[in-house]
């Protein structure tokens, strides 16, 4: 079974940066499709970014375009989410998930319920 572990969350001031890490292990590979999602209290889970297993293409939610960058790390199964110019509205628990698909999608339903990490909390506050 695939296991995913997120890390790198924390408290940061508006305008600051954080880099989140997602490490996938189990029956997966360096080219798995990985998505990042976030959820804040009272809101639905929303897709933030994803990287496709087939061609490394990426997608970003409009709210984070130009500020967030998704990339694969050198360590097997690692995907980074670099977050710059953070805003208060970026405050949320961030989750990564993997999907057995060639392309990537920001819809959470594309990612099997068993293929999610437990999340890491990002708080943007002064």
pLDDT in tens, 63-105: 999 999 999 988 888 999 999 999 999 999 999 999 988 789 9
Helix (H, G, I), strand (E, B) or coil at 90: helix
At 79 the pLDDT is 95
pLDDT at 29: 58
User: In this structure, are residues 9 and 38 in contact, taking their beta carbons and an 8 Å threshold?
Assistant: no
Residue 23 has pLDDT above 90, yes or no: yes
DSSP class of 31: T
pLDDT reported for residue 75: 82
Give the pLDDT confidence score for residue 72 in this predicted structure: 92
CA distance 71 to 82: 8
35: Cα separation from own chain's centroid: 5
């Amino acid at each position: 079974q695939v296991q995913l572990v997120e890390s790198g969350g924390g408290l940061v001031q508006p305008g600051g940066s954080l880099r989140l890490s997602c490490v996938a292990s189990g029956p997966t590979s360096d080219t798995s499709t990985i998505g990042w999602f976030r959820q804040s209290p009272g809101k639905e889970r929303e897709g933030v970014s994803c990287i496709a297993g087939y061609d490394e293409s990426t997608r970003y939610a409009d709210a984070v375009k130009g500020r967030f960058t998704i990339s694969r790390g050198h360590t097997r199964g690692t995907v980074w989410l670099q977050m710059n110019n953070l805003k208060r509205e970026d405050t949320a628990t961030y989750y990564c998930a993997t999907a057995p698909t060639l392309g990537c999608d920001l819809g959470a339903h594309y990612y099997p319920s068993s293929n999610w990490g437990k999340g890491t909390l990002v708080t943007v506050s002064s």
